[in-house]
Amino acid sequence: MIEKKLFFLCGVFRCGNTLLRSIINQNPNFLMTPNSVVPEILYKLILVRQGNIFQEENNYQSYSNVLNNIIPNYYSNFKQQFILEQGPWGTPDNYKILKELNLLPSKFVFLIRPLNEIMASWIKLNKIPILEREKYCNNLMSEYGSIGHAYLSIKNLIGKKEKVLFLKYHDLCANPQKQIKILYDYLEIPSFKNHYFKDLKDVENITEQTKIRTEKIEVLKYNYNDYVDKNIINKYEKINNLFNNLC
């Protein structure tokens, strides 16, 4: 049996993750997952270890057997050799789990775009009224918010000097062939010659959040400042500067 190779896609949401998945999963030997439950499974199993029942039993070997086999068992029914697992793997807690499972060092991938565009995309998607937008953005930027969580991952992985590839959303839309090649080269995966970039298929279990424009790949252009006040962006100047530098 061919050993599966696991890589980690850590975000950021509203930056082309679903688009990338629609392209990558054309390759029958390469699976990019939806936002995964695996980190949550492992985290809850770690919590079990902190409980009284485990402390009384004190059977670390059996526990480790279960913990170390969660990911192999989860993907045992998948035929693909290469797995790009989407989840908040870069956060300090999840990073510790990867270290305990001896999955480090590894290769991490982020899709990225300017902060004001990400915020505007969320606001537009969920039709947030003007008077509620600042509070909504504060939630997005909180430690467990969709953007704040991704920032936590980026900061942690950069601090740990892990290998991280930042794929720019605008570059992915402008020249998807080139960005896919960059991803393949970075992950050291054999190239796949039959990728197509027009008449794409929507991913399974489609929702409004994961819906893509299937007829062609392009950035949906609109005035982001109509959705995100500059005062909100200035409030998160440090994060905004980091995202702009990565873009």
Letter for the amino acid at 145?
Answer: G
Token pair belonging to 57 = 């039993």
Letter for the amino acid at 164?
Answer: V
Q: What is the pLDDT of residue 211?
A: 62
Q: What is the pLDDT of residue 217?
A: 86
Side-chain-side CA neighbours of residue 42 (13 Å): 26
Residue 107: name the closest of 190, 15, 188 by CA: 188
Question: What pTM does this model have?
Answer: 0.92
Q: What is the pLDDT of residue 213?
A: 62
Q: What is the pLDDT of residue 3?
A: 85
Give the residues of the chain that fall short of pLDDT 70: 1, 202-215
Q: What is the pLDDT of residue 206?
A: 55
Helices (H), the chain: 17-24, 38-49, 52-57, 60-74, 92-100, 115-126, 133-141, 146-159, 169-174, 176-187, 230-235, 237-246
Q: How far is the C-alpha of 135 from the C-alpha of 45, rounded, in Å?
A: 33
